[in-house]
Structure 1
Amino acid sequence: MIRVGVVGASGWADSSHLPALTALEQFDLTAVATTNQASAARAAATHGARHAFADSRELTSHPEVDLVVVSVKAPGHAAVIRAALDAGKHVVSEWPLGIDADEAAELTEAATAAGVVHAVVLQGHHSPSARFVADLLANGRIGTLESIALVAEGAPFGGSRIWPDLVFSLDPSAGTNIVTIMAGHFLSALEPIAGPLTEVSARLPRTHDRVLVAGTDQTVPNDTPSHVLLHGLLANGATASIAVHGGNGPTQDGFLLELIGSDATLTATPTQPGTFIHWGDWEVRIGKETLTVPDTYRTVPASVQSGPPANIAALYQEVAQAITDARQPHPSFETALRHHRLLAAIEQSAADGTARSIS
């Protein structure tokens, strides 16, 4: 049994990590931490944790914690991760790993030196739909892949207004915006299917210099992009055309993915409109034929609710197996670092108007 402590238990983790962990028999949720004792106690009571802390350092050093989950805002990831590594604990960090590629490199180096298991929550890697589509391509169902095209909604980022709890994201130094969160997750879901991008040419338009704080009359300055427009080349020679458009939300259609092959075109859309490509199930079609994702691609217990908890639970299953096998899981901090460098190349291309290579 792997004893887990979750830092940031009252935010995103409350509806994703905690339901996933409590549904898996390999894990024992022993501790939670939030920014104050009252909310920590509520999270502990709701999810059955024995310990509740208002100081994350108490959690990372606690003897009943083997694995630390980092689910705070991106600027706070590094401090919690370093504390966990200093205590010799395994780490699962939410994406993005750090606020930029340099910080991600430092954290990856530190995790490697610590000799612990480390993973990052790029849950698209564990999407049953994405893995099914990857196998369809590998088995030649559409012939040779020639091109991919993705149009996806990036709300709640990039619109003319922002939720009060996301105002911090309007500062690029926060590492949380339509590029890092939305494009980051969407691209991470595509690479296991189509292979890695090796060259990118991008535009990052900023439509709104100031945005309205939802529910108020206040506007605040915005220094982050509203949209992500990307053309690229894949390692297998195929081309990629990707558009992530921002908005106020809620999302309407979610995404449209086309994989164009030499023999046929595969199209994927969400089975539940408005869900993101790395969260929910896909409706998959080749030509006019609709294909059903076989149950064998779903590895998590039926008790895990659909949506974010499902793919995150699959990641935790991979982490548990990696701890047993004394290896690194996928995706690891190394995966995250490569992904950070891809996003940095996109930002650099948009800044100077040149194509950028990704090693």
Structure 2
Amino acid sequence: MTNTTASPSVSVAPAPAAAPAAAPVRVGIVGLSARGGWAAQAHLPALRLLPGFEVRALAAGSAASARAAGAAHGVPLAFGDAASLAASPEVDLVVVSVRVPLHREVVLAALAAGKAVLSEWPLGNGAAEARELADAAAAAGVRTFVGLQAGSAPAVRYVRDLVAGGYVGEVLSTSLVASGRRWGPVFEPAGAYLLDRANGGTMLTIPFGHTIDAVTMVLGEFAELSATTAVRRQVVREEGTGRPARMTAPDQVAVAGVLESGAVASVHFRGGLSRATNFHWEINGTEGDLVITGDSGHLQQARLTVRGARGRAGVPEELPVPEHYQDVPALTPLRGTPAHQVGALYADLAADLTTGSGRVPDFAHAAHRQGLLDAVERSAATGRRVAPTGPVRTNE
């Protein structure tokens, strides 16, 4: 007789159900135009490459222009005003990409609709307006973000880590000279509104503001400063036509001060482009020096090179940015373009919405930064040293 042994019964646990894919963040862009512009140049290319986002809607100045933009860019929902876009149940995140004087109206509409909102920098037309919008956002209890994307640039993050890791030792001083690219002898027709200081889009608020935010991210805040501003070219000419126009926005901004660490800082922005140096930033320390150079003072867009020297080394040598700082593979096709930094900011924004982190500067941070710019203007107007005040966002 053959002995047979039954095979033991094996209990197989069912495979875990795949976690449902997170729903994409549905984006509505206010200011996306069929004629091009910053939203079409930077926001749209980045959003279309990044996973987790879907551009669902746009708003323009009229229903007709919105329809034209929707057709040009393949965006399904087109609205003739920002409030209608913000109220749409198809929109989760409102992106504000219009001229600075229009920010307040669009941001308030988004907050009233209870939507998360990303506003281009500067947040408001002046420090008081920025503080109003930050307070309104806090009262609404929604997530807010501001487009200070220079801090997302791989080279800037690398420099921050080099300083934090002791590459230069104790920071003794920093000096920066840069060109504003615009606000020179010739202006583009579409940029005419930037000539008027009252519109809030100036060399101080845009390239200086972006750059000084990155400087303080790397080295810390100003404890006190003194500033000089001037309009050296009071009449400039339109590109192509030669039409003269008056410029009231300063084309020279010079700031000297002391950082909270005790390091001495000097920053000088000049309008237009220089025949010599368009971006040169040095960080000098007890153990070494860092030199960051680029093609313009718009640090949020510039192509940057990092060099460094330590100890007795003489000439700074290039320090290539390690590849791991290029940590958003989807954005590889955009390297070297202004859209790359914007895309890096959106990648951080997605993480903020998913995990509750605070990687992207919010409206409170924007109001603080515009407070620093207000301190520059107050010092320039009075000739006195000024101590900037206000809360500072904690970077994660």
Contact 1:117 1:327 in 2 (8 A): no
Which of 263, 266, 271 is residue 290 of structure 2 equivalent to?
266
In the other structure, the counterpart of 1:295 is 323
In the other structure, the counterpart of 2:25 is 2
Give the 3 Å change call, closer, same or farther, for CA 139–72 of structure 1 in structure 2. same
Contact 1:147 1:259 in 2 (8 A): yes
Give the 3 Å change call, closer, same or farther, for CA 90–118 of structure 1 in structure 2. same
Secondary structure, aligned partner of 2:181 = strand
Measure the CA separation in 2 of the matches of 1:328 and 1:285.
30
The unaligned stretches of length 5 or more in structure 1 are: none
In the other structure, the counterpart of 2:20 is none
Query: What is the Cα deviation at residue 180 of structure 1?
Result: 0.6
Contact 2:178 2:296 in 1 (8 A): no
- Written as runs of structure 1 = structure 2, the 5 A alignment for 1:21-32 is 21-32=47-58
Query: What is the Cα deviation at residue 172 of structure 1?
Result: 1.7
Contact 1:23 1:304 in 2 (8 A): no
Measure the CA separation in 1 of the matches of 2:266 and 2:244.
33
In the other structure, the counterpart of 2:300 is 278
Measure the CA separation in 2 of the matches of 1:213 and 1:303.
34
Measure the CA separation in 2 of the matches of 1:211 and 1:297.
41
Q: TM-score, normalised by structure 1?
A: 0.94
Contact 2:180 2:297 in 1 (8 A): no
Contact 1:254 1:276 in 2 (8 A): no
Measure the CA separation in 1 of the matches of 2:85 and 2:274.
35
In the other structure, the counterpart of 2:266 is 241
Contact 1:4 1:31 in 2 (8 A): yes
Runs of 4+ in 1 over 6 A off after TM superposition: none
Contact 2:176 2:268 in 1 (8 A): yes
Which of 233, 240, 243 is residue 208 of structure 1 equivalent to?
233
Which of 153, 157, 167 is residue 179 of structure 2 equivalent to?
153
- Report Cα offsets for 1:13-41 as digits up to 9, x if no partner: 11011111111111110011222445434
Which of 251, 272, 292 is residue 226 of structure 1 equivalent to?
251
**Does residue 92 in structure 1 map to residue 118 in structure 2?**
yes
In the other structure, the counterpart of 1:332 is 362
Larger radius of gyration: 2
Contact 1:254 1:277 in 2 (8 A): no
Measure the CA separation in 2 of the matches of 1:35 and 1:329.
32
Which of 195, 211, 224 is residue 199 of structure 1 equivalent to?
224
Measure the CA separation in 2 of the matches of 1:143 and 1:128.
22
Query: What is the Cα deviation at residue 53 of structure 1?
Result: 2.1
Measure the CA separation in 2 of the matches of 1:215 and 1:304.
30
Counterpart residue identity of residue 350, structure 2: A
Secondary structure, aligned partner of 1:204 = strand
**Does residue 345 in structure 1 map to residue 375 in structure 2?**
yes
Secondary structure, aligned partner of 1:184 = helix
The unaligned stretches of length 5 or more in structure 2 are: 1-23, 310-315, 390-396
Measure the CA separation in 1 of the matches of 2:387 and 2:221.
11
Contact 1:128 1:281 in 2 (8 A): no
Counterpart residue identity of residue 4, structure 1: V
Counterpart residue identity of residue 264, structure 2: T
Query: What is the Cα deviation at residue 253 of structure 1?
Result: 4.7
Alpha-carbon RMSD: 1.8
Measure the CA separation in 2 of the matches of 1:290 and 1:306.
18
Measure the CA separation in 1 of the matches of 2:296 and 2:377.
27
Contact 1:156 1:250 in 2 (8 A): no
Measure the CA separation in 2 of the matches of 1:75 and 1:136.
38
Counterpart residue identity of residue 351, structure 1: A
Contact 2:226 2:257 in 1 (8 A): yes
**Does residue 143 in structure 1 map to residue 169 in structure 2?**
yes
Give the 3 Å change call, closer, same or farther, for CA 131–251 of structure 1 in structure 2. farther
Give the 3 Å change call, closer, same or farther, for CA 345–317 of structure 1 in structure 2. same
Query: What is the Cα deviation at residue 305 of structure 1?
Result: 4.4
Counterpart residue identity of residue 57, structure 2: A
Secondary structure, aligned partner of 1:155 = coil
**Does residue 119 in structure 1 map to residue 142 in structure 2?**
no
Measure the CA separation in 2 of the matches of 1:90 and 1:145.
38
Measure the CA separation in 1 of the matches of 2:109 and 2:175.
41
Q: TM-score, normalised by structure 2?
A: 0.85
Measure the CA separation in 2 of the matches of 1:225 and 1:275.
15
Measure the CA separation in 1 of the matches of 2:257 and 2:80.
45
Count of matched residue pairs: 355
Query: What is the Cα deviation at residue 268 of structure 1?
Result: 1.0
In the other structure, the counterpart of 2:4 is none
- Bigger shift: 100-109 or 289-298? 289-298
- Written as runs of structure 1 = structure 2, the 5 A alignment for 1:57-136 is 57-136=83-162
Query: What is the Cα deviation at residue 211 of structure 1?
Result: 2.1
Counterpart residue identity of residue 369, structure 2: H
Secondary structure, aligned partner of 1:49 = coil
In the other structure, the counterpart of 1:354 is 384
Secondary structure, aligned partner of 2:182 = strand
Q: Percent identity?
A: 39
Contact 1:117 1:329 in 2 (8 A): no
- Report Cα offsets for 1:143-173 as digits up to 9, x if no partner: 111111111111212x233222222222222
More relative contact order in 1 or in 2 (CA 8 Å, sep 6+)? 1
Measure the CA separation in 1 of the matches of 2:274 and 2:147.
23
In the other structure, the counterpart of 1:17 is 43
Query: What is the Cα deviation at residue 61 of structure 1?
Result: 1.1
Query: What is the Cα deviation at residue 229 of structure 1?
Result: 0.7
